């Protein structure tokens, strides 16, 4: 069967054939032989039908061997149906699906039965919506994370990786604040009942649903791109880099770490010109919950971070 998401896994990924925008490759390089890192492991991915989850699933099914079970947990039945069509059961028996919401404590506990590794990626993510719907973000990003931690401890999960965002560093909006709380909830659980719990903090993923790059792609035919502020900038990485960083975190974590992917800093106006050189720019103003620029780490975190090629590691005290 031909995989359909390979473009997401390119470590150096271009946004369009007309764009020369790319992100430098990060360590480690992709393996050329089947990897046994996850052999005999049962893995749960909450929010697994999202863009990162799908890219991770493809990478694992393509390059890893001996996985016992790969369980996708999400509330989107259509995306689960589409993923099953893409990865048919007769060919990928290890891939399983479970409908549910991380807000449902009992359902999350059921999902964690027999699980060795849990990747907690389920979250509400759009910052402006968080400002007008704060309690919805609290229910999913904070209480949902609490449900995940409780279930992991209850069911004897060995390793828990929480997927976070650079907006959790010195947050000014509701979304970043809820993700900071999510980080703290997971970190507090490390070491309890032999659980290894850690965080992977990622910058903006190129081409993810609702991202600025995806918006520019949709609007470039209008020849006018909305720019929140001419001096706004963000950090970016490709899906391939994010998946590699997740695999590195799973391999290197001993519990209590925050892994922070560096990404590439880029002005939004430069990104807009690379996607559509001929488009005009319309300044719309920063939206609620948005900052002019993001931080990957706070000053306090930077003071004790260990730097490696492409990422930092912040270890607990």
Annotated active-site positions, please?
Answer: 167
Q: What does the alpha-carbon distance between residue 70 and residue 92 come to, in Å, rounded to a whole number?
A: 10
Q: What does the alpha-carbon distance between residue 142 and residue 289 come to, in Å, rounded to a whole number?
A: 17
The tally of CA atoms less than 13 A away on the side-chain side of residue 218 is 10
Place of tokens 């590699």: 244
Residues 6+ apart with CB under 8 A from 152: 112, 115, 118, 160, 189, 195, 197
Token duo for residue 102: 């991380």
192 within 8 A of 154, measured Cβ to Cβ: no
The DSSP bridge pattern shows strands 69-74 and 95-99 to be parallel
Helix (H, G, I), strand (E, B) or coil at 228: coil
Token duo for residue 265: 């800093």
Q: Can you list the positions of beta strands (E) in the chain?
A: 42-46, 69-74, 95-99, 117-120, 159-165, 196-202, 204-205, 224-227, 233-237, 257-261, 264-267, 280-283, 305-308, 311-315
Helical H segments across 87-173, by residue range: 105-111, 127-132, 134-137, 144-155
176 within 8 A of 127, measured Cβ to Cβ: yes
């Amino acid at each position: 069967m031909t995989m359909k998401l390979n473009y997401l896994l390119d470590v150096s990924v271009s946004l369009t054939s007309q764009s020369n925008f790319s992100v430098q490759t990060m360590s480690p390089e992709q393996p050329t032989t089947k990897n046994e890192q996850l052999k005999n492991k049962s893995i749960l991915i909450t929010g697994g039908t999202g863009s990162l989850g799908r890219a991770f699933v493809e990478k694992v099914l393509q390059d890893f061997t001996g996985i016992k079970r790969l369980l996708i947990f999400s509330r989107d039945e259509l995306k689960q149906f589409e993923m099953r069509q893409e990865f048919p059961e007769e060919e990928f028996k290890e891939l399983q699906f479970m409908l549910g919401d991380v807000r449902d404590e009992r359902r999350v506990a059921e999902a964690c039965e027999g699980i060795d590794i849990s990747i907690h990626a389920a979250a509400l993510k759009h910052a402006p919506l968080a400002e007008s719907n704060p309690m919805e973000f609290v229910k999913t990003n904070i209480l949902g994370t609490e449900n995940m931690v409780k279930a992991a401890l209850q069911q004897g999960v060995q390793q828990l990786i929480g997927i976070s965002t650079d907006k959790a560093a010195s947050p000014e909006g509701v979304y970043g604040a809820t993700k900071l709380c999510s980080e703290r909830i997971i970190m507090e659980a490390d070491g309890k009942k032999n659980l290894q719990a850690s965080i992977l903090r990622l910058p903006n993923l190129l081409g993810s649903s609702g991202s600025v790059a995806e918006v520019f792609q949709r609007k470039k035919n209008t020849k006018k791109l909305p720019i929140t502020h001419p001096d706004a900038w963000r950090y970016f990485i490709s899906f391939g880099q994010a998946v590699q960083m997740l695999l590195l975190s799973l391999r290197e974590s001993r519990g209590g770490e925050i892994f922070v992917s560096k990404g590439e800093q880029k002005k939004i106006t430069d990104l807009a010109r690379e996607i559509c050189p001929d488009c005009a720019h319309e300044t719309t103003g920063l939206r609620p919950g948005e900052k002019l620029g993001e931080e990957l780490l706070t000053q306090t975190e930077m003071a004790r971070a260990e730097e490696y090629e492409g990422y930092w590691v912040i270890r607990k005290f």
